[in-house]
Structures are given as structure tokens and as C-alpha cells.
């Protein structure tokens, strides 16, 4: 990227969606609901996948204010949409508007994918499986790991649940300690064992947890474009034996990832998770195998401006 300045995905999204006269009254509609939503690369990714398989589907970004979430979700049914993705700040609040949710979504209290089945709205979380697949593709096995998760929102909940199923020892770090404790309590009640710990991000225990971790996952937005000079934790907490996964994908190389590589640690950005969680949603909507490589290429092309 020229001058190492991150691409603004809002511009790329508008240029690459390619919505034109091919849309008809038979075109099936999917969407992403977020506030804000201009940064989302999901439209680029999903429309590329629909085009690759020749499906008469379209995916559109919808700016949904938190106060309008209920109306937007009811609109899925009213407009006979196939479904929708949920992003910040809607993943936790959407559940009360749905008819059914998967067991995982119920336990973690987070939904990122809604499927309209003949007017019945079903909620799922594909973030967890997307993260695990991305991590494995990056060469890190999460099974039995000492994992530290930064953040306690919807994505953090899904990732923690997925890691818990792989016998990871988990520590939740969050700026608001009460939010971290609430998530740890949910996970501990589910597992029946008091194994998940929670600390404030600015505590001494937080630094110790990261120094002893072999997996660190950033589920916060700290370091995301345009605030690329920010970093969620001090660099001196990092060490060469930790694998750092930053859920952020714009920029591709965050300050946290640079710091991790600087101490000799392995690291990966959030493109893989974006693609794999999107692939799972795609398959729920269409019943067809997602063209993962096409989706990944579309995301990278949008970010890198190629």
C-alpha cells in the first residue's frame, strides 16, 4: 500500500460490490446490520462468493442505529430476506428479537448470523468456528492452550466458548472489569469448573497473564483503522513463545502484530477469521459450500487496492 497507509474499505466496498442491472425481483437479499457499518468488507466478500457460484443473491450493508435494531430484524421477515449478519454493537442485543437461537448462541449470549426459515428467524454464532479454522490455518493448534482474550464483547464470547471446548485455560482481560467477570462466570457455569479467570486490563494480573500465555487474542478495536498507532497492551508484556491473533484486518499489520513479531512471536491478522466466519454464514444461507479462496481474495484485494 502506498506510503504504508491502510486502505479505507468503505471506498473499496462501494467500488467492488457491482450491483447493477443483473438484480431482479427474484434476487435474494442478505445484509449486515451494524452501527457504524461503512468499514465492513462483508459485502465485498459475500458478493464475490455469490458471483463465483452464479447465485442470484446480493449482500448489502445496512446502517442500523441501536434504537432501530428491532425494526431492522423484523424487516428480515417482512421483506422475505434470506438473513443477515450482525456486527458491532448488535450481536448481543439481537437475541430478544429472534424466534430461535442455537445452543452456542444461547450460552454465550451473542449472535452474528440470522437465517430466515419461512418467516422464523434463527440465530447462530459463526465467530467461534471461524476463529478456530483461521488459527489452524495460521499454524497454531489451540487445544489445551493458555489463552488470554482481550475484550468481552460478542466476538470474545464466541472465541472463548470455542477455546473452552478445546480444553484451553482462559483468561479474560477487559477495560471494564465487571464485563470480564460476567463472561468468565458464564463460561464457568457452562463448564462446571472454575477455570476461566477475569481481570481488568490495567491490572498487574493482566500483565502476568499475558507473560504466561501461549495464545493471545485481541477482540478489541484498539489499533483498527484509522487509529493505527494504538495498541491494546504494552509491548513489554509480549514474549517469543506467545502466538498473537489480532481480530483486526484493517490494517493488515497492526501495531500489536508488529510488536509481537518484534519479540520473535508468531502472529496473524483477522482476515482468516473474517473469511471463515463469513463462509459458515454463507453456507447457512445457501446450503452450498462457500468458495473460501474467492472470498479471501476479494477481502485482500479490497484492503490492498489491487
User: Any residues with CB less than 8 A from the CB of 286 and at least 6 apart, and which?
Assistant: 53, 55, 57, 82
- Annotate 181-197 with DSSP letters as a single string: HHHHHHHHHHHTS---E
- C-alpha dihedral (246, 249, 253, 259), degrees to nearest 10: -20
Phi, psi of 77 (to 5 degrees): -70, -45
The answer to whether the bond into 235 is cis (omega within 30° of 0) is no
d(CA 155, CA 92): 10
* Three cell numbers, residue 204: 498487574
3-state secondary structure of 129: helix
Give which of 273, 296, 259 is closest to 129, Cα–Cα. Answer: 273
H or E segment and range at residue 146 = strand 146-150
Q: Identify the residue whose cell numbers are 482462559.
A: 170
d(CA 306, CA 301): 5
* Active-site entry in 91, 240, 258, 293: 91
Q: How many helices (H) and strands (E) does the chain have?
A: 11, 12
Burial 258-281 (b: 16+ CB within 10 A, else e): ebbeeeebebbbbbbbbbbbbbbb
Residue 167: count of CB within 10 angstroms of its CB: 12
- 91 belongs to the catalytic site: yes
Residues 62, 104 contacting (CB under 8 angstroms): no
3-state secondary structure of 108: helix
The set of catalytic residues is 91
Amino acid at each position: 500500500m502506498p506510503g504504508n497507509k491502510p486502505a479505507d474499505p468503505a471506498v473499496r466496498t462501494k467500488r467492488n460490490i457491482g450491483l447493477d442491472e443483473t438484480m431482479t425481483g427474484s434476487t435474494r437479499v442478505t445484509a449486515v446490520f451494524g452501527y457504524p457499518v461503512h468499514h465492513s468488507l462483508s459485502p465485498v466478500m459475500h458478493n464475490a462468493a455469490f458471483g463465483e457460484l452464479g447465485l442470484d443473491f446480493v449482500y448489502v450493508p445496512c446502517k442500523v442505529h441501536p434504537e432501530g435494531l428491532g425494526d431492522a430484524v423484523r424487516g428480515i421477515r417482512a421483506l422475505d430476506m434470506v438473513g443477515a449478519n450482525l456486527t458491532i454493537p448488535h450481536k448481543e442485543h439481537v437475541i430478544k428479537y429472534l424466534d430461535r437461537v442455537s445452543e452456542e448462541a444461547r450460552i454465550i449470549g451473542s449472535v452474528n448470523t440470522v437465517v430466515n426459515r419461512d418467516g422464523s428467524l434463527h440465530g447462530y454464532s459463526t465467530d467461534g468456528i471461524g476463529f478456530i479454522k483461521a488459527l489452524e490455518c495460521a499454524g497454531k493448534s489451540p487445544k489445551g492452550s493458555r489463552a488470554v482474550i482481550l475484550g468481552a464483547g460478542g466476538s470474545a464470547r464466541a472465541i472463548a466458548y470455542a477455546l473452552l471446548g478445546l480444553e484451553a485455560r482462559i483468561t479474560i482481560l477487559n477495560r471494564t472489569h465487571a464485563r470480564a467477570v460476567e463472561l468468565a462466570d458464564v463460561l464457568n457455569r457452562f463448564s462446571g469448573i472454575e477455570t476461566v479467570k477475569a481481570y481488568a486490563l490495567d491490572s498487574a494480573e493482566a500483565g502476568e497473564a499475558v507473560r504466561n500465555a501461549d495464545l493471545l487474542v485481541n477482540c478489541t478495536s484498539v489499533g483498527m483503522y484509522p487509529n493505527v498507532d494504538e495498541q491494546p497492551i504494552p509491548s513489554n508484556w509480549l514474549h517469543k513463545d506467545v502466538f498473537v491473533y489480532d481480530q483486526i484486518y484493517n490494517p493488515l499489520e497492526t501495531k500489536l502484530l508488529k510488536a509481537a513479531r518484534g519479540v520473535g512471536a508468531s502472529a496473524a491478522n483477522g482476515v482468516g477469521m473474517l473469511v471463515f466466519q463469513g463462509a459458515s454464514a454463507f453456507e447457512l444461507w445457501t446450503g452450498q459450500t462457500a468458495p473460501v479462496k474467492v472470498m479471501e481474495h476479494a477481502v485482500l484485494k479490497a484492503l490492498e487496492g489491487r
